[in-house]
Structure formats: C-alpha cells, structure tokens
A and B are shown apart, each in its own frame.
Chain A
Amino acid sequence: MTYGETPSQTVGPYFAYGLTPGQYGYDFSDIANHIVAGPDAKGEHIRIIGQVLDGEGMPVSDAMIEIWQADHEGVYRTEPVSIENAGFRGLGRCGTGTDAQNRFVFETIKPGCVVDATAPFINVTVFMRGMLVHAFTRLYFDDEAAANARCPVLQSVPADRRDTLIAKRADTATGPEYCFDIHMQGNRETVFFDV
C-alpha cells in the first residue's frame, strides 16, 4: 500500500508567533533562531546577510529562511538541535520582518566540505506567503573559487546563472560577512533545486 504525499501549503503571512517567536517578540520559546553556531563552535565565525527579492525587485518582508549546514569539519549534526547549545547547532531560522531593510542575518561558521562534495556549501530553504511549496537552494562561497570550479553541482548549473549561488565575502570590523541575496524571479533569478 502506498500513500500520496500531503501537499505543501504556504507558510502564510502570520508564521512568526509560531516559528520565529523570539525574533519577533512573542512570548513563546524558539526551537531555532538566527544563531547557527554559538560562540563556542569551532571554525571560522562568519555572518550571512541577504534579502529575498520578488519579481519587481522589491524586498520581501514576510519570508522565512532556514539554513542547515555541516560543521567546520564537514559533518552534519546528528545530535538534537537546541538553542541552549553555545556551540555548533547546524540549523538556523530567520524571518525577514524585523530588519529595517528586510534582511535575514545568520551568525554561523564556515562549513567544511562534506564527504560527497568538493566545495563547502550551506543548504537554504525559502518559505513565504505567495509560495505554496518552499524552495531549496544552496549557498556557496566566493573565496572557494578552486573548489567551486570542481563542484559537479555548480558545474551542472548554466554558467550565466552560477553566480546566483555564490555568496560574496566582505571583511568588516565585526568579522567576515557573506552577502547572499535570493532573487525569486527576473534575469538574476536564483537557481532553485528539486531536492
């Protein structure tokens, strides 16, 4: 006996007091937040910042981004995820409704390369009102050019769209920052994957 999948439905505009209550100031505990790796995590601590842009290039103010990544050695966490953990958590969640420019911001570490890949990357999931099914993409790093050139996934993407998957590094007074804007549509439409 086989069973059909339960259809996906939009997260809608009102997810915040259920999914990201701490960030939006609701009185409910969080299971994940924008801190993917606490201060005790090994590895290079970085910040990831970006906007979600709609088909008219306007920032989306009610999107939620989740990231899931390997640790500094390229290993995915198999122990439970907890926001009480001051080390590596692996899962991050951030809404775009609390920043004046509707950015998402994650505090994390640069992941190591996982065993079946050739370049480090972060798994990114995009949810928002107006999307009935969430979208998957990947964040690669622009300071890994040699590894990126060997990555079969990146190389399978048309050359003129590859850039949409590569975050741009800037070294700031508060540490390294990678910019990763997600374009839902348009000539810079981000590459999304059928995961």
Chain B
Amino acid sequence: MSGFKPRDWSSHAPYIAPDYKSTILRGPTKPLMSLSGGISEASGPVFARAAVRDLDWDLTRNGRVNGEPIGERIVVHGKVMDGDGRPVPHTLIEVWQANAAGRYVHKVDQHDAPLDPNFRGSGRCMSDENGNYVFYTIKPGAYPWGNHFNAWRPNHIHLSLFGPGFATRLVTQMYFPGDPLLALDPIFLGTPDEAARNRLISKFSIDKTEEGFALGYQFDIVLRGRLATPMED
C-alpha cells in the first residue's frame, strides 16, 4: 500500500478566510505539523455496494410521501479520479442539499421558505469500476445566510467522499454554471485560486440530459493521487 501525494494547498482554502466570518474563531491558527505517510493515512474505510440502498441515488424518489417533489429534475454524472487521471472505483459518495425553494430539512434551518413533504434532500451513490457515478435530484434553490447583509448561498449540492485512503477524504460542494451568486459567495471564493475554485462548478451537458425528464450536469471530482513507487513505470 503506497501513500498519497501531499495535499496541494494551492487548490484549497486557508483555514482562516475572514470574509467567511465563522472561520475566524474556528480555523486552526498554528501551522500544521507534517506527518509522513504511513499505513494509517494510506488505509481507509471501504463500503460494500449494499451500503447504497434501493433509492438512495435518486433524491427525486427517496423522500416521497404522497407525490413528487417540486422543482427542476436534474441528473448529475461525474467521474471520481486522482490527480493522474486514474479512476477511483467503488468509492462512496454522500450527498445532501436544500430543496427547490432553498430550504433544508434540517431542524435548525429557520429560512422562511417551504419544506417539500416529498423531498428529504439526502442520498448516496457509489462510483463504478471506472470511477463513474450518477444520482438524480431536484435542482436546489439559493438560500440566505447570516454571514453579511443580503448574503445568499449560490445553488449547491454538498458531497462527501472517502476515496481510497484516510488521507483522500473530501467534503466539497458542487455549484451550477452561470450562477450570479458565485462571484459574491465567501465560501466559493474562499478558495483563492480561480482555476481551482472553478473546478467546483459543474458543466451543463445536453448529452447527459434525459429527453422529457431531467437536465444533465457533469461534475468530475479529483482526489489526491498516490505517490509513485520506484517499481512503477
């Protein structure tokens, strides 16, 4: 089991990003200590296919009570790969999001927008042997948050991935192309490198769009790669 390449910090946000106010008291302030990769960082949990149940990958159906959820149906396709373009197979992807009105099922979400009795907004899927994944959902709405006056989060879906090792763990958010709120969002802008943060924006795909049913988006996810070993060519 070989270790993973170090995290590429140029692709990530600093812990303290003052425009995103709650980072100020919550981000570590002292430099991280280095930990040369051992088996503890290279190992990580794996999940059986059975961890993804029947409708887990279809958020348009997994929260139904008495009808269909309201909103624009979308299908999200993507490939999970490492920095060398190698597919990351059989990795668990957990997703959660607001409904079409921008309201989360979460009990502490006080946003004055309607809950949808037929939409929970959480699910999961697993990448296949080629790293490809797919899930169906409703396009999430924007919602206000208290960071600053008139602060609104752009439409986004939260994703959580394990990858092949403890070191490859990633929690991220997928955004939508052309969203005017992106240029104003301290969370999206928390990643200082423009090219890096643009990797968080999915691409509309007419090829993945399903005739008469759902708009298609492509969101590829790049995890850290493995260190090359001298035996590898």
Contact = CB atoms under 8 A, between A and B. Distances in A.
Interface in B14-36: 14-15, 17, 20, 22-30, 32-35
A54 B28 CA distance: 9
B70 interface: no
Given A8-B170, A78-B46, A81-B45, A131 B94 contact: no
A7 B196 contact: yes
A195 B166 contact: yes
Most chain B CB neighbours (cut-off 10 Å) among A80, A133, A157, A194: A133
Most chain B CB neighbours (cut-off 10 Å) among A32, A129, A185: A185
A4 interface: yes
A31 B124 CA distance: 10
Nearest to A57: B25
A130 B186 CA distance: 11
Contacts of B122: 17-18, 21, 26, 28
B123 to A, nearest CB: 8
Contact of B32 (A90, A125, A156, A192): A192
B71 interface: no
Contact of A131 (B15, B95, B96, B200): B15
B19 to A, nearest CB: 11
Interface residues of B, number: 81
A145 to B, nearest CB: 21
Majority secondary structure, A binding face: loop
B214 interface: no
Contact of B195 (A4, A15, A24, A81): A4
A157 B33 contact: yes
A121 B39 CA distance: 13
A32 B46 CA distance: 12
Contacts of A132: 12-15, 17, 20, 23, 27, 187, 190-191
Interface of B: 6-8, 11-15, 17, 20, 22-30, 32-35, 37-41, 43-48, 50-51, 53, 56, 81-85, 92, 94-96, 98, 104-109, 120-124, 158, 160, 166-167, 169-173, 187-188, 190-191, 195-197, 199-200, 221-224
30 contacts: A2-B83, A4-B8, A4-B11, A5-B11, A5-B196, A7-B197, A8-B172, A9-B171, A9-B188, A14-B96, A17-B122, A21-B122, A29-B56, A54-B25, A55-B25, A68-B44, A77-B45, A79-B46, A80-B47, A123-B40, A130-B26, A131-B23, A131-B26, A156-B33, A184-B27, A192-B32, A193-B33, A193-B35, A194-B34, A194-B35
